[in-house]
Amino acid sequence: MLLKLKKGIIYGPVNSRRLGWSLGINLLPSSKKVCAFNCVYCQYGWTKIHKASRRKLWGMPSVKAVGKALKKALRTLPAPPAYITFSGNGEPTLHPDFNAIVDEVQSVRNQLAPRTKTAALSNSALVTDESVREALAKLDVKIMKLDCGSQEMFRKYNQPCDGLYLEDITEGLTQLSNVSVQTIVSGGESGNLNQRNLKEWIERLKRIKPSFVQLYTLDRDYPAKDISSAPREELGRIKKKVQEAGLSAEIY
């Protein structure tokens, strides 16, 4: 069964495989998934509002509302979370006030949970936007998606909005420091598990020089009918190739 969308601004804390005890922030509407991608494996199902524009939509919270909700959550928790993480019902950087919201969240964090780190889980679609990169640079952890090595595979696997190009995204990621790359590997007709794609993907990683590469396969339900989980042994081989390229990697 696909996951249900988050209903408010704050959710959790949840026990994240990557970040531990993490308090989530959702900057997107609770009624429909909003994303610049329509990934075949998305745990929330197919994208309902498919856009790369940062125009504000009904249901997107204000900077003030995010700060107020975060204060309430932190004051209610028995102990501070390890992370406050931007994620939610799609791509968080689509919020037009993302930069100001990052400032507000960090201000509240400094007051109420100074040891808690801030993070973002992003699909990298808007990393070409300078203001988005400025906002991401303020965070302690930036986990950015890169699933594919070629534009052809990118369009098939991530199904981006028109006008989004893998080369531009790659270039944007090279301009971020201390970035982690997350990659979901899957087999099947619409999957990205083929040697040509993996070779091209590793070449992009070498350009980006991430501090860490996080490898996954399918763990929850997904909307596409023609993809399948990658064997653990295959993930191990991919991890080894990434390490041979001089990069750190782990399987989750």
In the chain, the domains with their CATH numbers are 10-251 (3.20.20.70)
Q: Residue 143 in 3-state DSSP?
A: strand
Average pLDDT score over the chain? 96
Q: What is the rounded distance in angstroms from the CA atom of residue 249 to the CA atom of residue 215?
A: 7
pTM of the model: 0.94
Q: What is the pLDDT of residue 18?
A: 79
User: What integer is the mean pLDDT of 91-102?
Assistant: 97
Q: Report whether pLDDT(17) > 80.
A: no
Distance of alpha carbon 7 from alpha carbon 94, whole angstroms:
18
Q: Hey, is 158 helix, strand or coil?
A: coil
pLDDT tens string 107-144: 999 999 999 999 999 999 999 999 999 999 999 999 99
Q: In this model, does residue 26 exceed pLDDT 80?
A: yes
User: Token digits for 186?
Assistant: 């899957």
Tokens for 48, please give them: 């309902």
